[in-house]
Amino acid sequence: MKASIRAMTAVLALGLAGPSLAGALTLSPPTVAKYTCTGGKKIVASYYQLSDQSLSFVRLSASGKTYTIPEAMAASGARYANDTAGEWWEHHGEATLTLAGGKAKALQCRQVK
């Protein structure tokens, strides 16, 4: 398991451990958006954030697989990336999914209202 996934898991475990920790972090309810992508593929993106806003991540569900990707720096739009899952970059209802390994073509997606 990569370091970024381990770190995110540790932070979430700390925050979700319950009331025994003073000032424990909580996870916001997700903002959910649905996308239709190249080739008719469907993606559901659930956007989460910790209560202290120290960590944001997206959970993508597509074709029976789930990818959890932490937020990354972006000049424009919302970008989520890591070495194990790949990159999800959303801006004004359009998104691009590039899976890690570069074997598959990037998917171009549009949000379904």
Is there a domain that residue 18 lies in?
Answer: no
Number of domains in the chain: 1
Is there a domain that residue 83 lies in?
Answer: yes
Predicted TM-score (pTM) of the model is 0.76
**In the predicted structure, residue 43 carries a pLDDT above the cut 90:** yes
Is there a domain that residue 95 lies in?
Answer: yes
Structural domain span for residue 76: 27-112
Whole-angstrom distance between the N-terminal and C-terminal Cα of the chain?
35
Beta carbons within 8 Å of 64's beta carbon, 6+ residues apart: none
Q: Quote the pLDDT of residue 103.
A: 73
User: Contact at 8 Å (CB) between 50 and 15?
Assistant: yes
Q: Please report, for the domain that includes residue 32, its CATH number.
A: 2.40.128.200
Is there a domain that residue 11 lies in?
Answer: no
Distance CA 62, CA 88 (A): 13
Is there a domain that residue 10 lies in?
Answer: no
Is there a domain that residue 35 lies in?
Answer: yes
Beta carbons within 8 Å of 72's beta carbon, 6+ residues apart: 79, 80, 81, 82, 87
Is there a domain that residue 8 lies in?
Answer: no
The string of pLDDT tens digits covering residues 48-95 is 999 999 999 999 999 899 999 999 988 887 999 999 899 999 999 999
Distance CA 95, CA 28 (A): 22
- ∠12-58-30 over CA atoms, to 5°? 75
Is there a domain that residue 55 lies in?
Answer: yes
